[in-house]
Amino acid sequence: MDIPAFAEKQIELLQAERHADITLQTALLSTLPPNALMRHGLALTNLLPTSQRTGFGGRTIIDLEPDSAIFPTGLLPPHGIRQGDIVRVEAQPGGSASKKEKTEAKAAGIEGVVHRVFEGRLAVAVEAAGDEVDRVWTGKRLWVVKVANEVTFKRMEKAMGFLKTVGGKGDTTGLVDVLFGRRAARDVAEEYEKMEVNWFDEGLNDSQKQAVRFALASEEVGYEWMVAHYGVRLALIHGPPGTGKTQTLLEIILQLATPPTTNSSTPPTPKKILVCGPSNISVDNIVLRLPSSLPTIRMGHPARLLPKVIERSLDNLTRTSEQGEIITDVRKEMDDLLSKLKATGKARMKGRARKEGWDTVRHLRGEYREREKKCVTELVKWSEVVLATLHGAGSKQLWSEKFDIVIIDEGSQALEAQCWIPLLLTNKSGIQKLILAGDPMQLPPTIKSHTKAAIPKPPRTKTEIPGSLEITLFSRLLAIHGEGIKRLLTTQYRMHATIMHFPSQELYNGSLIAAPSVAERLLCTSLPYPVTETEDTSIPLLFIDTQGGFFPEDPSPHTPSTKSPTSESKSNTLEARLVATHIHALITAGVRPEDIGVLTPYSAQVSLITKLLRGAYPAVEVNTVDSFQGREKEAVVFSLVRSNDKQEVGFLKDERRVNVAVTRPRCHLCVVGDAETVGRGGKGAFLGRWIGWLESAEGVEVRYADVGEVLAGWAGGIEIERED
């Protein structure tokens, strides 16, 4: 494959994606009023700055509280701003503000990251100096708006630019050659897969142990011999839903970072490992399982980390180390001075004293950052395992560090350009191994810039350049090197065997096996609290057929010429009521609301079902399929929504989305939808086979919905307030 041409195409696709992201955001901000933006979770208005202090990296953390003239309770109104969101804080123009005033307010705004969210306060970490915050915002009412993450795009484009350069010069390493098919990935000899391993986790099943041996195989003969004879090692671990992929990666990390004691005269050397994932949660899930005795550091903004991970975060370790004590003293001095500068009335510093105060803050901030930089460097060198998101691996704090191995989890959910950030970061130090884990049969990264409706296919040859960002590194490597570079995990510990059966046969070649502990689990027998045995709680899989046109999807309230950025989604009111009625039956039988999830392909249906349930059962989680990937519930109701004469199925045509939805439940799956529309929809035969299986398989109960019963049932009389 032509590496410069590949990199250039990636840059082109990334720029199109960035443009689509910005266009969507601009359309929303320009067409929706502030209150509507709040309803859609994009903004928070009528805030006042109340204090500021110094945070990690010398950032200024400003506290924003609701204006008491508008919110007398002192509480923030309902909103969708979450910890870790990237936001822009701007002076809020009045209702009569001119276009010029609005433009000036936007230009004076400052971007930051939501540090903490409280009932009556929002803390935002910004890069701006305290005097800039003071000058722009003092005495002004503010609002906070979510923005696109420009840093991620810039780092991906930078990585692709670097790849283009080294590829053009022919200055590629063994890793790059393997990842582009210029060099064959080493096939692991059978004897090495049978090598003796001193397991940290003796409970691993056979397929997990095989995957671990496969990833470690070159360790047995030593890196020098391996590099000389075979070049860079590459291992892919294919982890279908519930098969213990994270548990397998944990064993690999421990084997590499703390190799068990052996009788060999040349025992294995611990390796420096960089572990990455496309999201913070994918990384945190690994951090939580690593033993506290292992020198570990979690890179990343503390606002985006799980609370239980904070103690291993760079921010916390910086504050609690020996160097951190000096840094803490500098921070306290800065914060004390900032408090004086923010004082009002007679205590307010004025004139020359105020200017000198801000000059001192700037000097202290410089000293703070210098000491912090030295502390961070020492901590990273101390750590045997460094964990970060893929784009977080591109931070300056890791530029000078050398790693032996890169492990990427959830590789099938990551853009390929994201994966190159840690790979190129460690490339100069001669990375010896890449371990990539994921499941190409689940959803790829979400792409907003599609110009075609067809689902992109991986390259058919080693020289074909992918034409879509949906083609992941995981899928491309499989297409280039074949199944020999992959090991499949086959025992799943989540689902009842009946729920597992169809996805196993259709998408995993019938390879999945339900562990005995889960194979027969039911709501009425397997939960840690009593649940009454009913016709609903005693079955693993239920299909409620809405029978053609009896439950039609709702017509769009917009014509093509009046569509708004939020009007593209689909909903089905009668189907939503049917879903709510089934949930009521499960809860009446004793299933706890927090153990139930409702999934649907469309955000409009999410909104509809949420409104039906929020009064009686707010703890029932309702979400899109895409947002629920990687999670599970005891019971899941899957609302298909689509029911029309044209057999249009929209998002359901992607079998990976269906796979994600039907593999989330542990005990009970209820599919609600129109068999006629869905069974005949889509260009392939997958949906038809799925509906056919639901209608005929042993262990699946089929019921036919009745409109009259639905309208007379529990959810039939609930009023739904609609939004245009």
The domain spanning residue 107 has which CATH number? 2.40.30.270
In a domain? residue 9: no
**291, 324: one domain:** no
pLDDT average, residue stretch 516-540? 98
Domain membership of residue 719 (yes or no) is no
pLDDT at 218: 55
CB 17 within 8 A of CB 469: yes
What pLDDT digit, counting tens, does each position of 543-578 carry? 999 987 789 999 875 544 444 445 568 999 999 999
Question: Region 308-323: what's the mean pLDDT?
Answer: 84
Whether 512 and 534 map to the same domain: the answer is: yes
Above 70 in pLDDT, residue 145? yes
Return the pLDDT at 220: 39
- 44 versus 94: the higher-pLDDT residue is 44
Residue 458 included in any domain = no
Identify which has the larger pLDDT, 399 or 108: 399
Question: What's the confidence (pLDDT) of residue 186?
Answer: 65
What average pLDDT does range 437-457 have in this prediction? Answer: 80
Q: For residue 252, give both structure tokens.
A: 């690999």
- The pLDDT of residue 118: 87
Task: Report which DSSP code applies to 77.
Answer: P
Question: Do 641 and 554 share a domain, yes or no?
Answer: yes
Is residue 25's pLDDT more than 90?
no
Q: What average pLDDT does the structure give for the chain?
A: 85
In a domain, 301, yes or no: no
> Is the same domain home to 397 and 375?
no
- Better-predicted residue by pLDDT, 443 or 347: 443
446 phi/psi in degrees, rounded to 5: -75, 130
User: Does 56 score more than 90 pLDDT?
Assistant: no
pLDDT at 608 over 90: yes
Residues 340 and 425 both lie in one domain: no
Residue 647, pLDDT above cutoff 70? yes
Q: What is the model's pLDDT at position 211?
A: 94
- Distance (Å, rounded) from C-alpha 465 to C-alpha 11? 13
- The pLDDT assigned to 81 comes to 84
Record the tokens describing residue 464, joined without a space. Answer: 């074909």
pLDDT band at 583 (very low <50, low <70, confident <90, very high): very high
Is 68 a domain residue?
Answer: yes
Q: Which of 95, 124, 148 is the last residue of a domain?
A: 148
β-pairing verdict for 43-54 and 60-66: antiparallel
Note whether residue 138 is domain-resident. yes
Phi-psi sector, 559: left (phi>0), alpha (psi -120 to 50), beta: beta
Domain with 325, as residue range(s), is 318-379
Residue 223 CA neighbour count, 13 Å, CB half: 13
In the predicted structure, residue 138 carries a pLDDT above the cut 70: no
Based on the domain organization, do 136 and 274 belong to the same domain? no
Decide if 241 contacts 511 (C-beta within 8 A): no
* For the ranges 77-86, 324-333, 705-714, the one whose mean pLDDT is highest: 705-714
What band does 230 get if pLDDT is binned at 50, 70 and 90? very low
**Overall average pLDDT of the 308-322 stretch:** 85
Domain boundary among 130, 148, 166: 148
What pLDDT does residue 715 have? 82
Residue 338 pLDDT class (50, 70, 90 cuts): confident
Shared domain for 672 and 569, answered yes or no, is yes
Q: CA dist 639 to 338, 544, 555, 672, Å? A: 53, 10, 17, 5
The model's pLDDT over 406-434, given as tens digits with 9 standing for 90+, comes to 999 999 999 999 999 998 865 455 677 89
Q: Is residue 720 in some structural domain?
A: no
Rounded to whole angstroms, how far apart are CA atoms 358 and 276?
Answer: 39
- End-of-domain residue from the set 360, 379, 398: 379
pLDDT band at residue 516, thresholds of 50, 70 and 90? very high
The DSSP code sequence of 597-661 is: EEEES-HHHHHHHHHHHTTT-TTSEEEEHHHHTT--EEEEEEE-----TT---GGGG-HHHHHHH
Q: pLDDT tens across 360-391, in order?
A: 888 888 887 888 888 888 888 889 999 999 99
Q: What's the pLDDT score for residue 266?
A: 59
For residue 178, the model assigns a pLDDT of 87
Using a pLDDT cut of 70, give the percent of the chain over it: 85
What band does 471 get if pLDDT is binned at 50, 70 and 90? very high
- Give the angle subtended at the CA of 63 by the CAs of 59 and 67, to the nearest 5°: 150
Band (247; pLDDT cuts 50, 70, 90): very high
Are 612 and 561 part of one and the same domain?
yes
pLDDT of residue 701: 98
pTM across the whole model:
0.85
- Same domain for 341 and 258: no
Answer whether residue 464 is part of any domain.
no
Total domains present in the chain: 4
Residue 228 clears pLDDT 50, i.e. is over it: no
* Cα–Cα dist 29/102, whole Å: 12
**Which residues lie closer than 8 Å to 665 by C-beta, 6 or more apart?**
495, 499, 597, 632, 633, 634, 635, 636
CATH assignment at residue 291: 3.40.50.300
394 and 477 both lie in a single domain:
yes
Q: How far apart are CA 482 and CA 14, in angstroms?
A: 27
Q: Is residue 656 within 8 Å of residue 413, measured between CB atoms?
A: no
Tens digit of each residue's pLDDT (9 = 90 or more) over 193-214:
667 889 999 999 999 999 999 9
pLDDT band at 225, cuts 50/70/90? very low
- Assess contact for 64 and 112: CB atoms under 8 A: no
Q: Are residues 77 and 139 in the same domain?
A: yes
Give pLDDT tens digits for 665-700: 999 999 999 999 999 987 668 999 999 999 999 999
Query: Are residues 361 and 409 both part of a single domain?
Result: no
